[in-house]
């Protein structure tokens, strides 16, 4: 099958040919025909499956046949959770539409708003935005939605994880009722299902990957080590195996900065990317990493979500993620498009719980390898694969309503004791008085 099978315009096919794309991926094969028919689509697809082209291409086909967009309006709105992902979606849309008279713009926070307002004045065919900045622009009358035809929620699960549900609901209330809705998410969680009921009208569900399955092209292993030895061990592994481009995940922004300084002090070209970095710094850092002038990119989960890096050979979990599903997302950035990749996790004893949850999720025990000179003093226990479904938590028994006396006793716990003690003293003193009374003459 080729992209021409979908009936895409010659201009779109020419752009695809220039990019060297000949055969559609599984998500593209399933999603593009449904979107072209104008149906609502709810798709589960991991990063790196070609999902962006899966919704951008049919949208471009639709826009090529519609009337021009008016000032401060947008025909298509794509919501994305991070600045990096928004920029990449906009870049893809601009690439695929390079031979079409369509305008694409991206708006996000962390940069000045005035240049973004200027872009919107002429009207935009495809507007890619993060939720917060879009609401800011709407409040300043810089964007209106009367001409909106299509809404796309990209990485919907991550948007919910990052707390954007309130902003998303505000945006939904501003949009025309008659529109096409598309949602792309790594998984169909309970929260995603709940949101879909507010968003969709009889959606077509598409799933191209079994949930929480890691790619067979990725070699996974763990390295038990004491927490304090992790920076030195990572440095040793990079030098010993001569790793090239390596994406390293840390749990915190502070940890990312600290690790980056350590790697730099050992002669490695490393840089950190996280939410505290300005957008200009983040964009330049990612560009330097892609060009190869930086070899080691240290990132937090939120900052790295949506990073599109081709042929990334190495992923390192410096810290195991708190949420097991994030492990799948992390290592899914290597071993793409049939290429081989490697994912190494440095695991300390206090991360054993996270390790067992990850192994349970991916349904396999990860092989272990001790590195000479870095044997841990605090061993990581051997794990056993438990494939039983987790037991649901028992609901707490409702507490019985308290009587007025119980409430009083709780508020004044020593009241009864004091009253009893005082009562006993009075009685005792009375008896003593009787005993000391002289007999009558």
378 part of a folded domain:
no
Residue 372 lies in a domain: no
Strand boundaries in 201-282, DSSP class E: 204-207, 218-224, 246-249, 270-273
DSSP 39-101: --EEEE--TTSSHHHHHHHHHHHHHTTSPPPPTTBEEEEEE-SSHHHHHHHHHHHHHHTTTSS
Same domain flag for 289 and 316? yes
Q: What is the CATH number of the domain that holds 191?
A: 3.40.50.300
82 and 180 fall within a common domain? yes
Under 8 Å between Cβ of 109 and 89: no
Question: Per-residue confidence at 283, pLDDT binned at 50, 70, 90?
Answer: confident
Separation CA 402–CA 411 (nearest Å): 12
Element of type H or E holding 168: helix 165-174
- Determine the Cα–Cα distance for residues 27 and 22; give it in Å rounded to an integer: 15
- Considering the domain architecture, whether residues 178 and 238 belong to the same structural domain is answered as no
Q: Looking at the predicted structure, is the pLDDT value of residue 396 above 80?
A: no
Q: How many domains does the chain have?
A: 2
Asked, for residue 427, whether it belongs to a domain, the answer is: no
Q: If pLDDT is split at 50, 70 and 90, which confidence band does 400 have?
A: low
Please report whether residue 127 resides in a domain: yes
pLDDT in the model for residue 303: 62
122 and 154 share one domain = yes
Q: What is the pLDDT of residues 350-379, one digit of tens each?
A: 999 999 999 988 889 999 999 999 999 999
Confidence of residue 167 (pLDDT cuts 50, 70, 90): very high
75 and 145 share a domain? yes
* Whether 260 and 189 share a structural domain: no
Over residues 190-218, mean pLDDT: 77
Tell me the Cα Rg of the chain: 30
Strand partners, 273: 299
Same structural domain for residues 60 and 126? yes
Judgement on whether residues 74 and 95 belong to the same structural domain of the protein = yes
pLDDT band per the 50, 70, 90 thresholds, residue 427 = very low
Indicate whether 409 belongs to any domain: no
- The C-alpha atoms of residue 81 and residue 132 are separated, in whole angstroms, by 10
Choose the final residue of a domain: 337, 362, 387. Answer: 362
Q: Tell me the residue range of the domain where 283 lies.
A: 218-362
Asked if residue 161 and residue 46 are part of one domain, the reply reads yes
In a domain, 318, yes or no: yes
Mean pLDDT of the 14-21 span: 86
pLDDT tens readout for residues 106-131: 999 989 999 999 999 999 999 999 99
- Is 58 in the same domain as 113? yes
Domain assignment of residue 388, yes or no: no
Q: Would residue 435 count as lying in a domain?
A: no
Listed residues 154, 182, 207: the one ending a domain: 207
Q: Give the model confidence (pLDDT) of 77-90 as tens digits.
A: 999 998 888 988 99
Q: How confident is the model at residue 188 (pLDDT cuts 50, 70, 90)?
A: confident
* Final residue of a structural domain among 362, 393, 408: 362
Residues 236 and 183 in one domain: no
Determine contact, residues 309/333, Cβ cutoff 8 Å: yes
More confident call, 94 vs 308: 94
Identify which of 384, 381, 379 has the alpha carbon closest to the alpha carbon of residue 225. Answer: 379
- Average of per-residue pLDDT across 312-323: 90
Residue 243 scores a pLDDT above 50: yes
């Amino acid at each position: 099958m080729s992209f021409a099978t979908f009936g895409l315009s010659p201009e779109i096919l020419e752009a695809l040919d220039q990019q060297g794309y000949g055969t559609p991926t599984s998500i593209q094969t399933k999603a593009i025909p449904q979107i072209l028919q104008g149906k609502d689509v709810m798709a589960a697809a991991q990063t790196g499956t070609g999902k962006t082209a899966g919704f951008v291409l049919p949208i471009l086909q639709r826009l090529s046949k519609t009337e021009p967009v008016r000032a401060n309006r947008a025909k298509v709105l794509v919501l994305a959770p991070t600045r990096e992902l928004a920029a990449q979606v906009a870049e893809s849309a601009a690439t695929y539409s390079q031979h079409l008279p369509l305008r694409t713009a991206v708006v996000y926070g962390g940069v000045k708003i005035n240049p973004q307002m200027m872009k919107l004045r002429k009207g935009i065919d495809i507007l890619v935005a993060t939720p917060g900045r879009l609401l800011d622009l709407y409040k300043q009358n810089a964007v209106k939605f009367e001409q909106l035809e299509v809404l796309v929620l990209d990485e919907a699960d991550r948007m919910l994880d990052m707390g954007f549900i309130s902003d998303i609901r505000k945006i939904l209330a501003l949009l025309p009722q008659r529109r096409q809705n598309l949602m792309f998410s790594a998984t169909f969680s309970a929260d995603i299902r709940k949101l879909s009921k507010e968003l969709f009208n009889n959606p077509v569900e598409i799933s191209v990957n079994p949930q929480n399955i890691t790619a067979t092209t990725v070699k996974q292993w763990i390295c038990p080590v004491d927490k304090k030895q992790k920076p030195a061990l990572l440095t040793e592994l990079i030098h010993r195996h001569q790793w090239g481009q390596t994406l390293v995940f840390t749990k915190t922004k502070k940890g990312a900065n600290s690790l980056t300084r350590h790697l730099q002090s050992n002669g490695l070209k490393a840089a950190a990317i996280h939410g505290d970095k300005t957008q200009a710094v983040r964009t330049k850092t990612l560009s330097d990493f892609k060009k190869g002038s930086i070899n080691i990119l240290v990132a937090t989960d939120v900052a790295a979500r949506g990073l599109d890096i081709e042929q990334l050979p190495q992923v390192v979990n410096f810290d195991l993620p708190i949420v097991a599903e994030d492990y799948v997302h992390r290592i899914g950035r290597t071993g793409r498009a049939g290429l081989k990749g490697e994912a190494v996790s440095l695991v300390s004893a206090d991360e054993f719980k996270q390790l067992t949850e990850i192994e349970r999720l991916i349904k396999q025990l990860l092989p272990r390898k001790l590195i000479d000179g870095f044997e841990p003093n605090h061993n990581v226990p051997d794990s056993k694969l438990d494939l039983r479904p987790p037991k649901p938590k028992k609901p707490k028994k409702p507490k019985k309503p308290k009587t007025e006396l119980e409430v009083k006793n709780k508020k004044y716990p020593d009241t009864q004791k004091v009253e009893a003690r005082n009562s006993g003293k009075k009685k005792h003193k009375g008896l003593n008085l009787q005993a000391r009374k002289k007999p009558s003459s």
